[in-house]
Amino acid sequence: MHDPNCLFCKIAAGEIPSRKVYEDEEIFAFHDIHPHAPVHFLLVPRLHLPSMAHAEPVHAGLLGRMMVLAPRLALEQGCRPYPEGGFRIMVNTGQEGGQEVQHLHMHVMGGPRPWLKG
């Protein structure tokens, strides 16, 4: 399912340019346009899922793939390995959770601290 009015659906479909990190049939990853850390990219499902609050058991495989993919991409993008290095995975959900784009997305942030914003 694709929402023609959704910013992240348009980015994943290549309708809006982005700095691509990764893509496959289910997931698209790209650099954040306003990074909060030296490494900061987003993982989005190609399926339009408005938020984590909308996730159902049928989405478990997709969400699991995103969680397993994040560490690999973090290392490829410049994060140092665990345990000295590392990264943060964050999913904002809803207005009070800080979600700005109504398409589920996972922020992956890392690199030397302190970061400009946390």
Q: Is residue 115 part of a domain?
A: no
Q: Is 107 left (phi over 0), alpha (psi -120 to 50) or beta?
A: beta
CB 42 within 8 A of CB 99: no
Domain membership of residue 87 as a residue range: 7-110
Mean pLDDT of 64-68: 98
Catalytic residues: 105
pLDDT computed for residue 112 by the predictor: 82
Q: Is residue 116 part of a domain?
A: no
pLDDT computed for residue 73 by the predictor: 98
Mean pLDDT of 16-43: 97
Instruction: Identify the CATH number of the domain in which residue 91 sits.
Output: 3.30.428.10
Q: How many domains does the chain have?
A: 1
Strand order in the sheet with 39-45: 20-23, 27-31, 39-45, 106-110, 87-90
Checking if the pLDDT of 6 tops 60, the result is yes
